[in-house]
A and B are shown apart, each in its own frame.
Chain A
Amino acid sequence: MSHDAPAHGSHDNYLTHKRGLWSWLYTLDHKRIGLLYLFTILSAFLVGGIAALMVRTELWKPGKVFLDPDGFNQAFTYHGSIMVFMVILPLIPSALGNLILPMQVGAKDVAFPKLNLLSYYVFLFGVILAVATLFTSGIDTGWTFYAPYSIRTSTATIMVVTGAFFMGFAAILTALNFITTVHKLRAPGLTFGRLPLFVWCIYATNIIQMLATPVIALTLMLLVFERLMGIGIFDAKLGGDPVLFQHFFWFYSHPAVYIMILPAMGIINEVIPVFSRKNVFSYWGMAGAVFGIAVVSFIVWGHHMFVSGQSETANFVFSLLTMFVAVPTGIKIFNWVATMYQGSIRLTTPMLYAMAFIFVFLVGGLTGVFLATVSINVHLTDTYFVVAHFHYTMVGGAIMAFMAGLHYWFPKFSGRMYAEFPAKISWFLIFLGFNVTFFPQFILGMQGMPRRYYSYPERFTNLNQISTVGSYLIALGFVLALFYLIYGLLWGKKAPDNPWGAETLEWKTSSPPPHENFIREPVVTHGPYEYQI
């Protein structure tokens, strides 16, 4: 995508600093590494999206449409694993984080640039390993790889799991790098109390990545050994306990949903004050809420396992603890709305995505509280209600916020503007299509349609068809976005250094930024959202 990016006038910037494919593949510049991540992840997003359309198309009517049941299992497994491990988890922290975070703290680069490049290649290797299974026997375990099925199935579980291991390793290295950067490389005057909230959110995310990802890495390795030599820790046949796999898995994977959502909240935290021209409502409330969510995320994992056969005691404890997540999340939603209140709001594309995020994420969050209640959960587990819930948080949350961030920072990293009008149409298609796709799934779930099923009774046909139509609307929105963004990248209007009038440091340098971000080291004298309107 990017090595043929256009030359920009006279001044030297990071895109023109060195030329040639090799200068991209062996770059130590965090911005270029961020673009490499972005390109890789968006390619994976395309594959995962196609798998999603296959699933929705197959569910157009009961019985076979065009896939056989095994093909369907593989389609939803690829959709889930690709979207979770290769798209949503690294999308904002690794791609946008690399592009923006060092600039926001006023550093020349991340603390360990070589490690940063290494983690990109480790990630890429994991992606290739996992996607290569498309050409082997595939995988059909679902993205959760639950034992004992993942031990028994004849599909290429080991390759995918090893791929996920490497992606996790890359995430750990990136997190290590960013935490050190935030601790050690802040510009003079940039105290912790003046950090942009995006940095706070990525920082909290990185802490979760450091603490949780190693657990899944080892768990997946145990799964590999389980398959290779039958260590039996997760295999009831050999005396082990499959539920233990779920504990290990969710000790990571519950915090992982906050790895997905905290960076998303970070973007919303940047976009809303800028386009409301108001200082963020309760800076420390926001930063504290982020850390509250990060810590609480580690003590709630058992709510994924209410019907797994875990003890009643654990059900009670985890259900209670889960309710606590709603508190910091509620604080954040209130604060965003309070920030917008009486602001002079500009409805640019990033702001539209941010507002869509608040609405959609509120629905996702509230249905999460339903699901945290054991009695309701038992009824709704593994139905489309759950599918709708986590798509409202993960797609509605992470992807909407990513789109907000992508449009918000597009002028910065490309040096050009996107076209506002098609962007708004695309936003409308995605927002509408998203709700058309997933809202009916709440109803389907309440009526008892189980997830991951190939076919369904006649009476569910109408709602399923509405949902499928919605999924095509989303796809249309993203295709449109692809076109106008590429157009903007190549032929868009030249972007000024600070098109949105923002106060954070990345807007204090040129667009696109020079090789080492700043010509002169910036000195920070006030908070990140103190606008002189």
Chain B
Amino acid sequence: MSETRTEGVRHFAHHFKSAFHEFDACKVGMWLFLLQEVLFFAPLFVGYAVYRALYPEAWHEASHLLDWKLGALNTVVLICSSFTMAMGVHAAQTGRKNKIVLNLGLTILLACCFLVVKYFEYSHKVHVGLLPAGMFTYEGLQHAKSPLFFSLYFMMTGLHGLHVLIGIAVLGWIWSRARRGDFGPDYYTPVELTGLYWHFVDLVWIYLFPLLYLVG
């Protein structure tokens, strides 16, 4: 895609026929990427499904140690960030540069909020010893399998958190490009693709929140 050429304002790589052709291909590529993301998270969901089916009491007991209020707060934060992201894409499509910058900035800010809340949750758990099974020191849980819940909790939220971090990095890059004025109605593919990724991160959390915090 390095050898771009200019045709009016649109630019696209040499092996595509038009800017739309490139946009279309990039979108297929992004959906394919999200398809593999679903399967990337799959083992954790399968692990959760298996252990929850085998040890429902352990799950019930352990999930009550999570603070649903913080989980709900983070759900709201992520939903809002998804909204600002969608508005960022809208602004790009309608060519309002300041609004792109504003909305992307808000999205980054909300993503950071999410991580701050997560940090407080994690540090509390580390403090009381609610850790993955091998390092579990918390006393006061009856069921022998309860530590497994926290193994999965840390793996699932950890992988999701990693996606949030990567999202922040990508959003930061897109934000700086938006400030430079790279995007407009003719070219906003990176904004749209980042949006798809960011909504996917939200999507994962939409399932993680009830699975971990609510229905133990």
Contact = CB atoms under 8 A, between A and B. Distances in A.
Direct contact between the two chains A and B in their complex (CB within 8 A): yes
Interface of A: 28, 107-109, 111-115, 172, 175-177, 179-180, 183-185, 210-215, 217-219, 222, 225, 229-233, 235, 238-241, 244, 247-248, 251, 516
B36 A211 contact: yes
A232 B159 CA distance: 17
24 contacts: A108-B15, A111-B15, A114-B1, A176-B36, A177-B29, A185-B15, A211-B35, A211-B36, A213-B36, A214-B40, A215-B40, A222-B155, A229-B135, A230-B133, A231-B132, A232-B132, A232-B133, A232-B148, A233-B148, A238-B148, A240-B133, A241-B50, A248-B43, A251-B43
B19 interface: no
A232 B151 contact: yes
Contacts of A212: 39
B209 interface: no
Given A108-B15, A233-B152, A238 B133 contact: yes
Given A211-B39, A239-B144, A231 B32 contact: no
Nearest to A240: B148
A218 B154 contact: no
Nearest to B24: A184
Nearest to B151: A231
Contacts of A239: 133, 144-145, 147-148
A230 B148 CA distance: 10
Contacts of B155: 222, 225, 231, 233
A185 B13 CA distance: 12
A210 B35 contact: yes
Contacts of A177: 29
Given A28-B2, A214-B37, 13 more contacts: A112-B29, A115-B29, A177-B29, A179-B32, A185-B25, A210-B35, A210-B36, A211-B35, A218-B43, A218-B159, A229-B135, A233-B148, A238-B151
A238 B134 contact: yes
B9 interface: no
Contact of A231 (B2, B14, B46, B133): B133
B1 A248 contact: no
Contacts of A217: 40
B173 interface: no
A122 B53 CA distance: 38
A180 B1 CA distance: 15
Contacts of A111: 15, 25, 29
Contacts of A248: 43, 46
What are the nearest 9 A-B pairs in CB distance?
A230-B134, A232-B133, A214-B40, A108-B15, A238-B133, A231-B151, A214-B39, A184-B25, A231-B132
A108 B22 CA distance: 14
B185 to A, nearest CB: 22
Given A176-B36, A211-B39, A219-B43, A233 B15 contact: no
Contacts of B25: 111-112, 180, 183-185
B60 to A, nearest CB: 16
B47 interface: yes
A238 B21 contact: no
B135 A230 contact: yes
A516 B131 CA distance: 55
Contacts of A184: 21, 24-25, 28
B42 A215 contact: yes
Contacts of A28: 2
Nearest to A206: B32
A315 B70 CA distance: 43
B41 interface: yes
Interface string B102-145: 00000000000000000000000000000111110000000011
Nearest to B55: A239
Nearest to B131: A229
B53 to A, nearest CB: 12
Contacts of A516: 14-15
